[in-house]
A = this chain, B = another copy of it.
Amino acid sequence: LQPVTYNRNIYFDTSPQAVSLYLLYNHWLPRVLVYFFILVDMSLAVFEEPAVLPLPTWATMLVELLCLLVFTVRLVHYAKVIPRDKFWKDPKNICIICIVLTLIDMIIYGALTATNCYALRWSRVLRPLLLVNVTEGRQLRRAFRSIRNALPEIFYVFLLFMFSVLIFSLMALKLLGKRGLKTMDGSPYFTNYLEIVFDLYVLVTTANSPDVMMPAYNASFIFTLFFILYIFINTYIFMSAFLAVVFNNYKKYLKEEVRQLVRAKRHKMVRAFAVLQERREEGGELVVTQANWNQLVRLVQPDISNAHRELLWSVCDDKNQGFIGKLAFVQLADLLNIEVITLKSRPHPLQSICPTLYLSAPSRLLCRLVQHRGFTIMYDVIILANAVFIGLDEENPMISNSEWVFLFLYLLEILLKLYVFEPRSFFSKHSFWNWFDTIIVVSALIATIINSALKSVGGYTSRQILDIVFILRVLRLIRVVDSIGRFRTIINTLIRIGPAILTFGQLILVVYYIFAMVGMELFKEKVKFYDEDSNDPAKAYCGNPLLKGTTFAQLNYCKNNFNNVMSSFILLVELTVVNQCNGFATVTHVSARIFFVLFHILVVIVIINIFVSFVLEAFYVEYSVDKGDLQTSLERKIEELELAVAQWYRTVDAFLQRMFEADLDPEDLAENDDAEAQTNFANPSFSSV
C-alpha cells in the first residue's frame, strides 16, 4: 500500500473494487504517463506548420490521436472511480469537450488538406486546457479559480479605467487634433479618435513614452500637463488600483480556501473516527484505542519511526489512558504535518573507524579551525578574488591556470567540511547550500577537465563546454550571499516562493500557448528574418515592403515574429515586458492591435499582478516570522497578546465549525487538498502549533 497523498478529496465509493480502481488511478505510473502525453501533445506545435522542425502532417496527427486516446482512457478510468452522477457534474470534464472538438477539427482538417483547400487547425488553442483540466493540475486550477474570482472586481476597475482613457482621448482629440501637428514620420498627430485611444492605452504600458507626447511638447510645454495628468491617473493610480484589487481578492480567497480546507479536513477526520470508534464501557464516550490508532498511522505514513509515533500518541493521549476521544483524534492530521527533527548527534564515521587518529590533537585542531568564523571569511575572500579573476581576460595563461587553483581550493573546502561534519547531516534535506556547493564544484571540475582534455588532444576548445564552464564558475560566486545574515531572510523567502512560481509558470505557459497559436495563424510569415550575412535587399525591411522605413525595421526587430512556436513564445515574453506591437499592425491591419491589447490585459494586468500579490504576501509572512530580533520588548509583549487572541479566535472558529457542520456539503469541499501545502507555507504558525 502506497501512502495516498493525492486526490484525497475526490469522492469515491468505498467498495473494495472501487478502492482498488481508485488506488490504480492514483498510482504514479498513469499520472506520469498522462503528464508525458500532455507534454507531447503541447510540443506538437514545434513540429506542425509553421514548424521549427517540420514533420509530415500525418505523423503529427497520428501522435495527436495517440494522445487523445490516452486522455480518453484516463477519463474513462476516472468515470469508473467516482460515482456516475458526480462525474457528469464535474467541471473538469471540459476535457471531454476538448477531446471531441479536437477530433472534429482533425477530421475537417484532414478532409480539407486532402482536397487541397485552405485549412486551419483551430483546435490547437484547446490543448493547454487539458493541462488545466486533467485531475492532476490541481494547483493550476486553483490559480485559474483565483483569477476567475478576481475577474468581476478587476472588470469594474477596468471599465472605469477605459472610461478614463476614452475621456482623455476625447480631450486630446479636441485639444490637439486641430492644431495641425505632425508626428515624427510626418503623419497628422492625434486626429483619429481610435488611434488616440490606442496610443494612450499604450502610454499606460509606458511603451511609447515619451514619443507620443513629443509633437505636443514641441508645440507648447502646456500640453505636457495633459500627458502628465494622464500618466499620473492612468499609469500610476489605475495600475496600482488593479494591483490593489487583485491583491485584496487574492488574500480574501486564500483565507476562504484555507477555511474550507480546515473544515473539510475536520469533516473527514470525524468520518474516520466514526469508522474506528468503539465504546470502552457501557454508556461511556466513543473512543479510538491506541492499537487502532497505531495501525492507522502506519497505514497513512509508513515512513514514520516508532519513536515518532509514540511521541504523537503521547501528545494525543495526554492523560495516558490508552484511548483517545473524538477531539484528540481530529488533531491527528495536524500532528502528522509537524516536522519532527530528530537531532541525533551521530559520531563521525571516521571516529568509529579510526578513533585514535580522528581524536588526536592535530585532527581536533583542524576541526576547530574549519568550524571557526575565520574559515568562512577566508573562503568569502577567495570567492571575491575568484570573481575578479573571472572578470579578467581568460586568454592570459596565468588567469586560466589560476582556475585550477580555485577549483582545488573549493574542493578542499568541501573535503574539509566532510572531514569535520557528519556526512549525512552535511547532505541533509535542509542543507541547500551544501548541495549547491558540491554540485557546482564537482560539475565545474568535470567540465574543466573535459575542456582541458579536448584542448590538449585536438588543440581546440568546444564553445558549448566552455560556456558551461563559465556559467558554473559564475554560479559559484552566488554562495557568498549565504554568509550574510540579512540576505538569508530574503533568499529564504525567494526559495520558498519556488514551488508556487512553478504554478505561475504553468499558468503563463497556458496563456502564452493560446496566444502563440492565435498569433501564428494571424501573423505567420508576415515578418521575415534574414541572416546576418544575407545580401537580400528585403533584409532592411524584414521581407515585408509595408515595413519600409518603420521603426520596427530600423531597430532590426525582424526576429521578433510569429513564424514558429519558439519565436512566438520569445516575442510574447518581450510583449509582457514592453508592449510594442506597431510593426504587426502595420503588416496586417489596425485591428490586429486588439490581439496585443487583450494580451496586455490578461498577462500584465491580471497574471503579473497576481504574481506580485503572491510575492507581497510571501514577504509579509516571512518578515512577520523573522523580525524577532528587530522588535522592541513592548512590541513583543503585544505580539504575545495577539497570539493569545489568535488562539482564542481559533477556539471560536472551532465552535463555529461545530455549529455549521450540519449544513456542510462535502461537494463544496472537493479540490482543496493541495491547498494544504500552500497553507502551511502562507501561515507557518498554523502547522507549528
Interface stretch, picked from A166-174, A281-289, A437-445, is A166-174
A161 to chain B, nearest CB (A): 9
In angstroms, Cα B221 to Cα A224, docked, is 40
Interface stretch, picked from A112-120, A230-238, A337-345, is A230-238
A636 to chain B, nearest CB (A): 12
In angstroms, Cα B167 to Cα A163, docked, is 45
| A576 to B, closest residue via Cβ | B231
A13 to chain B, nearest CB (A): 30
Q: Are A556 and B481 in contact (CB under 8 A)?
A: no
When distances are taken between beta carbons in the complex, the residues of chain B under 8 Å from A416 are: none
When distances are taken between beta carbons in the complex, the residues of chain B under 8 Å from A473 are: 174
- Answer whether A490 and B236 are a contact pair too, CB < 8 Å, given A224-B570, A391-B170, A560-B210: no
Q: Are B245 and A619 in contact (CB under 8 A)?
A: yes
Q: Are A243 and B612 in contact (CB under 8 A)?
A: yes
In angstroms, Cα B620 to Cα A494, docked, is 25
Q: Does A33 contact B (CB under 8 A)?
A: no
Q: Which A residues between 194 and 239 are near B, CB-CB below 8 angstroms?
A: 206, 209-211, 213-214, 217-219, 221, 224, 228, 231, 235-237
Interface stretch, picked from A43-51, A264-272, A350-358, A640-648, is A640-648
In angstroms, Cα B433 to Cα A547, docked, is 49
Q: Are B471 and A577 in contact (CB under 8 A)?
A: no
When distances are taken between beta carbons in the complex, the residues of chain B under 8 Å from A221 are: 566-567, 570
| A172 to B, closest residue via Cβ | B474
Q: Are B228 and A573 in contact (CB under 8 A)?
A: yes
- Answer whether A193 and B577 are a contact pair too, CB < 8 Å, given A615-B237, A652-B641: no
| A217 to B, closest residue via Cβ | B559
Q: Does A555 contact B (CB under 8 A)?
A: yes
Q: Are B170 and A390 in contact (CB under 8 A)?
A: yes
In angstroms, Cα B417 to Cα A43, docked, is 65
When distances are taken between beta carbons in the complex, the residues of chain B under 8 Å from A210 are: 557, 560, 574, 577-578, 580
| A617 to B, closest residue via Cβ | B244
Q: Are A231 and B652 in contact (CB under 8 A)?
A: no
Interface stretch, picked from A91-99, A152-160, A590-598, is A152-160
What is the total number of copies of this protein in its complex? 2
Of the four ranges (under 10, 10 to 19, 20 to 34, 35 or more), the interface on chain A belongs to 35 or more
Q: Does A409 contact B (CB under 8 A)?
A: no
A498 to chain B, nearest CB (A): 11
A510 to chain B, nearest CB (A): 17
In angstroms, Cα B486 to Cα A156, docked, is 7
In angstroms, Cα B638 to Cα A210, docked, is 50
When distances are taken between beta carbons in the complex, the residues of chain B under 8 Å from A532 are: 218-219
Q: Are A231 and B577 in contact (CB under 8 A)?
A: yes
A245 to chain B, nearest CB (A): 7
| A394 to B, closest residue via Cβ | B174
When distances are taken between beta carbons in the complex, the residues of chain B under 8 Å from A471 are: 171, 174-175
When distances are taken between beta carbons in the complex, the residues of chain B under 8 Å from A224 are: 570, 573
In angstroms, Cα B491 to Cα A174, docked, is 25
Main secondary structure of the interface of A (DSSP, over half): helix
A487 to chain B, nearest CB (A): 5
Q: Which A residues between 590 and 626 are near B, CB-CB below 8 angstroms?
A: 608, 611-612, 615-616, 618-620, 623
In angstroms, Cα B478 to Cα A367, docked, is 75
| A235 to B, closest residue via Cβ | B577
Q: Are B160 and A490 in contact (CB under 8 A)?
A: yes
Q: Does A1 contact B (CB under 8 A)?
A: no
Q: Does A470 contact B (CB under 8 A)?
A: yes
Q: Does A57 contact B (CB under 8 A)?
A: no
- Set B184, B560, B638: member contacting A555, Cβ < 8 A: B184
- Set B218, B231, B648, B660: member contacting A645, Cβ < 8 A: B648
Q: Are B577 and A391 in contact (CB under 8 A)?
A: no
Q: Does A634 contact B (CB under 8 A)?
A: yes
Q: Are B619 and A241 in contact (CB under 8 A)?
A: yes
Q: Are A470 and B245 in contact (CB under 8 A)?
A: no
| A486 to B, closest residue via Cβ | B156
A531 to chain B, nearest CB (A): 9
| A638 to B, closest residue via Cβ | B656
How would residues 481 to 504 of chain A score, 1 for a CB under 8 Å from any chain B CB and 0 otherwise?
100001100110110010000000
In angstroms, Cα B567 to Cα A214, docked, is 12
Q: Does A247 contact B (CB under 8 A)?
A: yes
30 pairs, CB–CB < 8 Å, chain A vs chain B: A167-B474, A167-B478, A170-B391, A174-B470, A174-B473, A175-B467, A175-B470, A184-B555, A184-B556, A209-B577, A210-B580, A214-B557, A218-B529, A218-B559, A224-B570, A236-B611, A236-B612, A240-B612, A240-B616, A241-B490, A241-B493, A241-B494, A243-B612, A244-B620, A245-B619, A634-B656, A641-B649, A641-B656, A645-B645, A645-B649
Given contacts A184-B556, A193-B391, 8 further A-B contacts (CB under 8 A): A156-B486, A160-B487, A210-B557, A241-B490, A243-B615, A248-B623, A638-B653, A641-B652
